[in-house]
Each structure stands twice: as structure tokens, then as C-alpha cells.
Amino acid sequence: MSSTIGQQMPLRVGFREEAVFEHYLPGENAVAIGTLRQALAKMNDHLIFIWGNQGVGVSHLLQASIHDLQSQGFEAVYLPLAECVTYGPDALEGLDELDAIALDDIDLIADDNVWQEALFHLYNRMRDAGKLILVGGRASPLHLDLTLADLKSRLSSGLTLQFVPMSDEQRVDWVIWKGRRRGLVIEKDVAEFLITRHNQKMGELVATFDLLDSASLAEKRRITIPFLKRVLAL
């Protein structure tokens, strides 16, 4: 990473090493994920816009995309605007020297003309240089409440992928699948109890699973319904 970028970039952003494609259960999003991964492999797109309601894993997918690009040897970074808006738009300076960037939480700058103007110019520089921008939000580009029409137009010019929430049945499958990946045997009735009694948005559910995993390891106990009730105070 160049010295210019190092001087401008916030030093700490929420980039998780475990946020990879292999840790995302596709469910009904299998086609969208396949399209995304093909686009990352070809690097022919100048912009990829990923959107969906809170809890579908947009942040996870953006980070997974950056992990994927880095594994291919590209210089790429993940930048969640939720953590960077306080730094001001100067945080974007020098990013066009990279091969790709992923900007999360685009909705947060809906009322900020200065940020929108800076992002508009960054997009133009990266497009002209043949670089890739990935953007994540909770609405499609055409339905973003952006005040800068030119930016909305730019964000609508690339590949747009919508991701949908998992059903409760798919969440049950996710709990069992996630346990298997951690070497845990979680019976279906246990997973159903967790989803029925403690159903959460996916980000919260991931945190809950990590808590149960840690407690199970510390106590050397299987994850059962009584164990769930005690650890989660249900």
C-alpha cells in the first residue's frame, strides 16, 4: 500500500478475516453469489453494487470479495463508511491507486453532499484507470436517497446484485451447517429451538453462535436445549 494511502486511510476498520465466501450459506442467494464470484474472477466490471435488507450479509460479502481479490494478488481494501465518515472525505484520497475497493454503508452519506461529491470523483478516477469499486447498501442504486444525481447514475451503471434474507428454515440449516464447520454436532431440534426462541438478524445470530461455541468449548459441553436456555437466559 502506498504511503499516500497509508496517510489518508483510517488505521482501523472492521475487516474480519473469517468473512469469506466459504462461511456464507448461499440459500436462495446461490445464483447471485455465483455471479459475484465470476465477476471477481474476470475483473471486467468497473462497479459491482451489492444490496439487501439489514441482516442479509452485505458487509460479509463485500469483505469476502476483498479477501478473494487479495488472494488473486490484487491490492484491495474494505472501507465501511460507518467507521470512516468521521474522518471526512479525505479518507478516500489515494484509494484510486489500488486495484479495487469495497465501500460499505453507502446509505450513510445520503444527506452529505461533500461525501457524495468526493465519491463521485473517486468513481470517475477508478473507472478511467480500469479499477473496480464494489459498493454495499440497503437499497438498489436507483432507490438510494442520494442528493447528487450524477453519483446515483454512476452507481447504477455497473453490475447490481440483490441478496435476500434467509427463511427460518434456512436459518435452522445455517445453525447446523455452522456447527459442522466448527466441529460441533447440533441437532435439528436444538437449532429450531434457537431460531424460534432467539431469532435474530444474521449479524446478531452469528454473534450468538460464537458465544455458544465459546461456552461449549469452555465447559466441554454439547450444545443442547438446556444448555441454550442457561447460556442465553431463555
146-193: pLDDT as tens digits: 999 999 999 999 999 999 988 889 889 989 998 998 889 999 999 999
> Where in the sequence of the chain do the CATH 3.40.50.300 domains occur?
3-162
pLDDT at 7: 42
For the CA atoms of the chain, what is the radius of gyration?
19
Q: What is the mean pLDDT of the chain?
A: 89
Could you name the CATH architecture of 168-232?
Answer: Orthogonal Bundle (1.10)
pLDDT at 1: 44
**Of 85, 25, 82, 80, residue with least CA distance to 57:** 25
Query: pLDDT-based confidence at 14, cuts 50/70/90?
Result: low
Higher model confidence: residue 85 or residue 102?
Answer: 102
Does position 136 have pLDDT exceeding 50, yes or no?
Answer: yes
Please give the model's pTM, rounded to 2 decimal places.
0.83
pLDDT tens digits, 89-115? 988 989 999 999 999 999 999 999 999
- Determine if residue 152 is left, alpha or beta; phi over 0 gives left, psi from -120 to 50 gives alpha, anything else beta: alpha
Does position 38 have pLDDT exceeding 80, yes or no?
Answer: yes
**Are the CB atoms for 57 and 202 separated by under 8 Å?**
yes
> Where in the sequence of the chain do the CATH 1.10.8 domains occur?
168-232
Could you name the CATH architecture of 3-162?
Answer: 3-Layer(aba) Sandwich (3.40)
pLDDT at 17: 74
